Structure 1
């Protein structure tokens, strides 16, 4: 049945054409933006996830910038520390030369003085963005931090992780507080007035701290087993064991002490043998040098000129501490580089993850666009045919 008032074919054709036009607009939007989810209405779940991931990616970008700033600070401090180590090595060589009896200590001191001024200049100039990690109050502990990473945990909470470097008397070169506690301005006492010995008594080892100059892991034994030299000084009696001066007394005078008249691995301690004295005692006076800081070395000073060997030991001890501080800076620099590489890869992974959620497949969208354009043309043609039905009915009433 045909009706002039209700054209069902035209309605159907119009609905179909309307839907085709909507699909065509969606496809054209995806092609123009490159995204299949560009707003929450497209897919609320994917849009929400992608928005959060983009936010995290931007935070990681900020972390990378902070890492770059931190790396510059660390590299500046390391460069200063490395340069200072090289200068101290030169001072060490000058002191070695000064031990030659015929050396002109005044001229050598002139060279050392220039090196000391160079050290001060290096420390003062090793500053980046207003921070200098080579000088500060060495009597306190300060923590320098570098932003290391941005973390989102499984519950959605976010946090910033940092890389820390401690500034204290073990890492600061010059103490700005005036307490001379930095590696370059503190006095290194190269003497050692005590040593912990493991005393073997009846097969049981017991540790005792006794007077000594250098340290070794010793087993105290009696009699000739010491195989050392005996020295009687104003400070007391000493026995040298494997190069170690140990305060000692005759076994007959240590009655009542833990190791007196005991059986040891080498036999029984008897009168005339030497035993370790576990009571406090001072080391020989000749083993206690007067220390001077690297910045205070002055070979024109009679006292220091007579103890160049001790000054050399102090410089060597400072070099070990400086090398340790430089190693810490180097490890932080390496960690920053690794973290920077990781963040770059993580950022790329997040970008790919976001793309899988919201990016449009352009090949698929191209094929869909061609199909929808054909459908649109067919829909227009179908609507035109449906609308012409009324004209066909009119022809029935013509004479």
Structure 2
């Protein structure tokens, strides 16, 4: 404003008021157009820089949500893989159960060919051949049973005072006492756990293995720590020199070999296919999920170490069409003891899978909780930044109306102040 121009006090006051109103209107229009009351550090340095810090952290957490989401999908993929493997293991259990259903056909049976008692002895004693046989004494000079004596089988304990049974990797041995009877012999065999014995209607000894391994039976004695079978003494019981019997072969079991091994392959494939975005926790991969934007000791994260899941890792071997007990985890399907081993291995595998599934479930719950927490934090930070910088649009709209009225009044007042000067001008004319 040029100092050479003289304005009245009233005019100058009204002019200043109009200028203030115009400045306020400009500020009001800026807030209405941007929606913010603080657009730069010039407006309010404290609020501006505080809001920038809050917004930057909200943005950093937003970026981390993508990694958290991928982590959740990776864990879920692994959990689905465990479910698939569990289903396969249960199918494998069904195959083992089918194989075990015809166990009797695979048991080795050793049938004696010597009658330990005769029909004549049964007549003389008034007993059955079975009862006569069970009552006979094992050791001593062979003698027929009479109405007053039980009879003697005729085992020479000087040559053979022990009986040994062998099946697979198991050996059972027991002593023959001087007063032991055939009944005692049968009972001792039944205690072995690897065979059962009975006397048939003809008075012959019959021994059946409890497993599918070849069963060997012999009478003899231990010398210098080694047991030696005496064929002659053994023949007095069985009719054979050194009797042994192998288990049978089941065609039904043979057909299950391919089925079981195919399921085993499916188990491995299901575990290999349980990855997400290049990370497979069932292949031993590790996963690290970050929950905050900090580094070093202040960094919040969850580290998950996967496990190499496979049939071998679970202790599930292959099926072999064999009656021989297999070493390691492999299973001879014609061998009853091996099938029991397979059933136990599958039960242990299910327990391990349950533990793995529980671990993944716990990890998934943790990550999902942190995901929800992060979303809430982002909302809190964004809202906090907005509270510091956003304008109250209702207030600014009301201010706009008030400023318009004020500006109109200022113009009117300026006009009235100018009219006083015009009156003086009239007098000069």
Q: How many residues align?
A: 269
Choose from 370, 387, 391 the match for 2:401: 370
Kept after mapping to 1: 8 A contact 2:25/2:403: yes
Choose from 273, 291, 300 the match for 1:161: 300
Q: Secondary structure at the match of 1:132?
A: coil
Question: Is the alpha carbon distance of 1:64 and 1:158 closer, same or farther for their aligned partners in structure 2, counting shifts above 3 Å?
Answer: farther
Q: Distance in 2 between matches of 1:6 and 1:369?
A: 29
Between 350-359 and 54-63, report the one with greater CA deviation.
350-359
Aligned pairs for 1:1-399 (under 5 A) are: 5-100=6-101, 101=103, 102=105, 104-136=252-284, 143-150=286-293, 159-167=298-306, 171-174=307-310, 184-186=311-313, 293-294=315-316, 296-301=317-322, 302-303=324-325, 304-305=331-332, 306=335, 307-398=338-429
Q: CA deviation at 1:58?
A: 1.0
Kept after mapping to 2: 8 A contact 1:150/1:158: no
Q: Which has the larger radius of gyration?
A: 2
- Per-residue CA deviation, residues 293-320 of structure 1 (Å, 9 max, x unaligned), is 31x3214143233211122222222221
Q: Distance in 1 between matches of 2:85 and 2:29?
A: 66
Q: Distance in 2 between matches of 1:110 and 1:366?
A: 81
Q: CA deviation at 1:93?
A: 2.5
- Per-residue CA deviation, residues 211-266 of structure 1 (Å, 9 max, x unaligned), is xxxxxxxxxxxxxxxxxxxxxxxxxxxxxxxxxxxxxxxxxxxxxxxxxxxxxxxx
Q: Distance in 2 between matches of 1:370 and 1:26?
A: 13
Kept after mapping to 1: 8 A contact 2:71/2:287: no
- Per-residue CA deviation, residues 8-51 of structure 1 (Å, 9 max, x unaligned), is 22222121111111111111211222221222222111111111
Q: TM-score, normalised by structure 1?
A: 0.62
Gaps of 5+ in 1: 137-141, 175-183, 189-292
Q: Distance in 1 between matches of 2:267 and 2:342?
A: 17
Cα RMSD after superposing both structures: 2.4
- Per-residue CA deviation, residues 189-217 of structure 1 (Å, 9 max, x unaligned), is xxxxxxxxxxxxxxxxxxxxxxxxxxxxx
Q: CA deviation at 1:370?
A: 0.8
Q: CA deviation at 1:81?
A: 1.4
Kept after mapping to 1: 8 A contact 2:64/2:290: yes
Kept after mapping to 1: 8 A contact 2:84/2:270: yes
Q: Secondary structure at the match of 2:24?
A: helix
Gaps of 5+ in 2: 106-249, 326-330
